[in-house]
Structure 1
Amino acid sequence: MKFILFCLMLFSFIRIDAQMLASVYFKHNRYELSSESKQKLDSLARLDNNLTFRIFGNCDPSGSAGYNKVLSEKRANAVSKYLQEKIKNRNNLQSTAGLGDEKQINDSSTEELRGKNRRVDVFIEKAFAQGEKISQKAFASFLSVQISQMKIKETFSLPDVNFIGNRHVWLPNGNQSLTQLFNILKDNPTLEIELQGHICCDYDNFDGRDIDSGTFNLSWTRANVIKEFLQNQGIDAARIKAVGLGHLNPLIYPERTEEDRIKNRRVEVVVLKK
């Protein structure tokens, strides 16, 4: 199963409003940090003070469960040790854990996909006061803006297209919006879009577990199921790109009600070509 991992860059210039993630990758059966990984971790170490770091090591499934567990711990510890030397006492390294091959983000059917599972995820989170939460305004609706007024790389919302928790099944009130999306693409044959999937609530992983597929790429499966719907209606697959952004761009954070959670289980549209 194809999975495109969203990568945050230029960490030194990012202000943490909620939570962000960075991932570093490893060669098969190795736990040494590459120069590229060290450069990324150096950037993380320059972030603002008073942040919490949590580190999770992962493996592809090629070894035994016991071997993978140990290897993932060595990877997590290598990252933890490197970061600790860099951040000193400015930020808090809250936890370091090796998960073995428990948190596969794809089916590891190719070497490229296995490489995505040989990683360490670093979660960085700011502290919230009791009852505090962030609420961002949704983007303008893709269904109500004239194509001529849209800009390339501009992001739009898909009103009412939200999903059942832990699944890539949209709620019934999204049917009309998706029909409108199809009609817009049909009537504008040069239009190309990117569908960006989002999840809620799973703060211990980049992405959530899709209980239907068994993989940890729920945001991607949500975007991809809409792509498949549009393909089945006759839209050329080459005009649609599906990506998963995990929980890194919430409309509401942290989610305190089911309404909050539903709002974050969404797919947004980015214009790639008109």
Structure 2
Amino acid sequence: MKSIILFLLLLFSVKTEAQMLTSVYFMYNSFELNEKSKKKLDSLAQLKTNLKFRIFGNCDISGSSDYNKTLSENRANAVELYLKKKIGNNIKVISTVGLGKEKQINDNSTEELRGKNRRVDIFINQEFNAEEKIFRKEQPSFFSLDISQMKEGDIFSLPNINFIGGRHVWLSSANENMKQLFKILKENPTLEIELQGHICCDYENFDGEDLDLGTFNLSWTRATAIKEFLQQLGIGPNRIKVTGQGHLNPVAYPERTEADRVRNRRVELVVIKK
């Protein structure tokens, strides 16, 4: 939530509309807001900048299409009703939609992953100066430091490991650093990491569509592709956690050039255990 507020404070002019997103999650077969979700919505409602919210309800794949459509609508309506009691005149809810199970962001293979589909996404829109661009400082390179200098929780970039648009296939320019990533993990057998995938461009969804798989979890499949590559070379799967960050935290925004888009099609690395 803090990163969303800091980003919104940077967006202050007119002409082009900028967008960020946050999500709240629900228990199975429920549209009741829990305390954690209420706190997040309270933080959104306290924003003083003039904003527009668009609300989209989602479900996992359990149940019929009609049932999930209704459940997702109930979730979206619960968020809208809660927000409307809290927000001032500076924030307007301009649409509330239940999508059912149309926008699955992962393969639903575990309860944790199914839980990520039981959510409501809130898109936060604000006008943005057409000439203005924000560059977020990139994380230090994972290849520039010795493991002994790293701390648990540190986040690193994986330079030149970028992806083809709409796909979980990396560009050929990534090959050398992919080999270097494997080498570091092989030489440090106690090292455990998290791979965080990112996308560019798709601001109508939390995550992008993977054109090869037809799923809306492109950031996750990009990180998973790297994990599978490392597994094939002998790195144990228990050493690598995978998450998808969608289009949150771009390093270049708005993406005016193909170079901007390529920079955002990336995977970052978090040190979990040395």
Q: CA deviation at 1:69?
A: 2.5
Matched, 1:161 2:164: no
Q: 8 Å contact 2:209–2:215 — kept in the other structure?
A: yes
| Distance verdict in 2 for CA 1:129–1:10, change over 3 Å | closer
| Distance verdict in 2 for CA 1:27–1:181, change over 3 Å | closer
**Match in the other structure for 1:4:** none
**Match in the other structure for 1:25:** 25
Q: 8 Å contact 2:223–2:243 — kept in the other structure?
A: yes
Question: SS at 1:53's partner residue?
Answer: strand
Q: CA deviation at 1:192?
A: 2.2
CA shift digits 1:181-228 (9 cap, x unpaired): 111112222222221111011112221121222222211111111111
Q: 8 Å contact 1:52–1:92 — kept in the other structure?
A: yes
Matched, 1:174 2:174: yes
CA shift digits 1:34-85 (9 cap, x unpaired): 3443232112212242223221011233343334323322221221121122
**Match in the other structure for 1:270:** 270
Q: CA deviation at 1:14?
A: 4.4
Percent identity, aligned pairs only, is: 66
More displaced, 258-267 or 67-76? 67-76
**Match in the other structure for 2:14:** none
**Match in the other structure for 2:233:** 233
Q: 8 Å contact 1:208–1:216 — kept in the other structure?
A: yes
| Distance verdict in 2 for CA 1:11–1:87, change over 3 Å | farther
**Match in the other structure for 1:6:** none
**Match in the other structure for 2:72:** 72
Q: 8 Å contact 1:223–1:267 — kept in the other structure?
A: yes
Q: 8 Å contact 1:12–1:47 — kept in the other structure?
A: no
Q: How does 1:1-274 map to 2 (within 5 A)?
A: 9=1, 14-16=6-8, 17=10, 19-274=19-274
Q: 8 Å contact 2:195–2:269 — kept in the other structure?
A: yes
Q: CA deviation at 1:140?
A: 2.1
Which whole-Å CA distance do the structure 1 matches of 2:4 and 2:246 have between them?
Answer: 21
Q: 8 Å contact 1:164–1:170 — kept in the other structure?
A: yes
| Distance verdict in 2 for CA 1:272–1:36, change over 3 Å | closer
CA shift digits 1:227-247 (9 cap, x unpaired): 111111112222222211111
Which whole-Å CA distance do the structure 2 matches of 1:187 and 1:147 have between them?
Answer: 10
Question: SS at 1:165's partner residue?
Answer: coil
More displaced, 263-272 or 54-63? 54-63
Q: 8 Å contact 1:11–1:44 — kept in the other structure?
A: no
Compute the TM-score of the two structures, normalised by the length of structure 2: 0.87
Equivalent position amino acid for 2:123 in 1: F
Q: 8 Å contact 1:11–1:47 — kept in the other structure?
A: no
Which whole-Å CA distance do the structure 2 matches of 1:172 and 1:262 have between them?
Answer: 13
Q: CA deviation at 1:126?
A: 3.5
RMSD: 2.3
| Distance verdict in 2 for CA 1:112–1:160, change over 3 Å | closer
Question: SS at 2:121's partner residue?
Answer: strand
| Distance verdict in 2 for CA 1:32–1:142, change over 3 Å | closer
Structure 1 segments unaligned to the other structure (5+ residues): 1-8
Aligned length in residues? 266
Which whole-Å CA distance do the structure 2 matches of 1:151 and 1:126 have between them?
Answer: 37
Question: SS at 2:86's partner residue?
Answer: helix
Question: SS at 1:87's partner residue?
Answer: coil
Q: CA deviation at 1:109?
A: 4.5
Q: 8 Å contact 1:12–1:46 — kept in the other structure?
A: no
More displaced, 251-260 or 63-72? 63-72
CA shift digits 1:120-158 (9 cap, x unpaired): 111224421123221123222211222232233222211
Which whole-Å CA distance do the structure 2 matches of 1:168 and 1:176 have between them?
Answer: 17
| Distance verdict in 2 for CA 1:192–1:55, change over 3 Å | same
Which whole-Å CA distance do the structure 2 matches of 1:188 and 1:109 have between them?
Answer: 30
Which whole-Å CA distance do the structure 2 matches of 1:251 and 1:12 have between them?
Answer: 14
Structure 2 segments unaligned to the other structure (5+ residues): 11-17
